[in-house]
Amino acid sequence: MLVDRINALLPQTQCTKCGYAGCKPYAQALADKQADINRCPPGGDAGIAALARLLELPVIALDESCGRHIPLQVAVIDEQHCIGCTLCIQACPVDAILGANKFMHTVLQSDCTGCDLCVAPCPVDCITMVAVEPARQWTTDDAMLARERYEKRQRRLSAPEKEEEPQPVALVDKQAAIAQALLRARARRQQ
């Protein structure tokens, strides 16, 4: 289907900067001729050129009212100030944040797409976006991995039996419980 071929050209950060709820909705709008091809800042000029080829449209400049095309950034959490509210986990479309309620949170930088959707919900402003070192652009391989992670999250959220507890939270809960058990065991040994 045309929408799938368009979606395959999009960066899959799900950042919503195009004004749509994610890459697939933007792809649908393009397939329906309801949107211009220049609304995706992460895709930049290369993305516009690819869309222009597929849709047989002229190449146009990025619409910078959607955002600028910049080298890849990732989110970094100031763990000293994190209050463990989990709002960033709920905002992250690719489950790149680990943490549990009332525990500090951290970003798995290898999984972060730089979408910056976690920044605004943080009530204590302890998330910043930083450029990756060395500087690099988002690649097609990055997009494939991000799409897999996004679709996995969507499946998890739509599965009723798994709705209550996101996997990363469960994982860190377990790790925290193990760490606390180890601390208790050490304290007992020292008595």
Nearer to ligand SF4, 21 or 185 (CB): 21
Cβ–Cβ under 8 Å, residues 42 and 64: no
Binding flag, residue 50, ligand SF4 (CB under 6 A) = no
Whole-number Å distance between alpha carbons of 50 and 9: 7
* Cβ proximity to ligand SF4, 115 vs 172, nearer residue: 115
Continuous segment of H or E residues that includes residue 188: helix 167-190
Residue whose CB is less far from ligand SF4, 16 or 137: 16
Give dist(CA 27, CA 34) in Å, integer. Answer: 10
Strand 127-131 and strand 73-77: the pairing is antiparallel
Give the span between the Cα atoms of 16 and 91, in whole angstroms. 12
Nearest to ligand SF4 of 43, 166 (CB atom): 43
Which of helix, strand or coil describes residue 76? strand
From the list 116, 150, 166, 168, which residue makes contact with ligand SF4 (rule: CB under 6 A)? Answer: 116
Least Å distance, CB 126 to ligand SF4, is 5
Residues engaged in binding ligand SF4 (CB under 6 A): 10-11, 13-18, 20, 22-23, 26, 40-43, 75, 77, 82-88, 91-92, 94, 96-97, 99, 105, 107, 112-118, 121-122, 124, 126-127
